Amino acid sequence: MNFEEINNGIIKIYGHCPHRERTIGMYNCIQDIIDKNIKGDFVEAGVAQGVSSAFAILMLKTRNSTERDCWLYDTFEGIENQKGGWDRPLEWEKDLYGKSAANMWDNGSLSRPYYSRTVDFVKNKIVQTGYPENKLHFIKGKVEDTIPDAIPSKISILRLDTDFYLSTKHELEHLYPLLEKGGYLLIDDYGHFTGAKKAVHEYFGDDILTKENFYMAGYTCLIHKKI
């Protein structure tokens, strides 16, 4: 399947598809790790509805790469818990437009229903990809509580989408060392939330975009190939 065919498969499952530029970026990363036989599992922290995970998992299936386990981390609190079980952003964290992430958290504009679904909702969608169910791991709870207790031994695709400083910092510290050389790190909100960006800069340095193995997919998603 090409990109459009996989995207259409996700539309059949969800009724919509993930953000196009970011998803094309992920598609290219997955193509590369399969073509170059980079070992390791797929990981996403911050799953929400599971649309991006479903795209990656469907692509792995269509490329006959189902030997990989898929690890999906989220609080999975469901829309009835409007805060989604996450911690409040720190006071200095802002979005791309300079708005306080903490204020948006308090007034509810950061807790739109699609930010949090139950694990049963997400699992029901993901299994429709046809991926072997024994290879799917749904890890419920805050990443600070579940990582590193439940983690893979090797990672080929590491997608981080928890938006804020503390969670992103924790994920990088514990999961990036498990990323295989030739594998890819994707930070979904690097360009949108200052907390995610600060965590990345503290880990890799402020000059990352001057390096060939760091680049942007759209205005917000940072992609890094580990070399």
Query: How many alpha carbons lie under 13 Å from residue 42 in its C-beta half-sphere?
Result: 30
The confidence score (pLDDT) of residue 194 equals 96
Residue 2 has pLDDT above 90, yes or no: yes
Q: How confident is the model at residue 77 (pLDDT cuts 50, 70, 90)?
A: confident
Longest dimension (CA), the chain: 46
CA distance 122 to 143: 17
N-terminal to C-terminal alpha carbon distance within the chain: 28
Structural domain boundaries in the chain: 3-225
pLDDT tens per residue, range 162-208: 999 999 999 999 999 999 999 999 999 999 999 999 999 999 999 99
The confidence score (pLDDT) of residue 88 equals 80
User: Is 14's pLDDT higher than 50?
Assistant: yes
Structure tokens belonging to residue 136:
């799917």
User: Is-above-0.75 flag for pTM?
Assistant: yes
Higher pLDDT among residues 115 and 63, named by residue: 63
Reported as a single tens digit per residue, the pLDDT across 92-126 is: 899 989 999 888 878 777 655 456 789 999 999 99
* pLDDT tens sequence across 121-160: 999 999 999 999 999 999 999 999 999 999 999 999 999 9
Sign of the dihedral defined by the CA atoms of residues 73, 78, 81, 83, in that order: positive
Written out in words, the top-level CATH class of the domain with range 3-225 is: alpha beta
Beta strand spans in the chain (E): 41-45, 70-74, 136-140, 155-160, 179-187, 214-217, 221-225
Mean pLDDT value across residues 73-100:
77
Phi, psi at residue 216, to the nearest 5°?
Answer: -105, 145
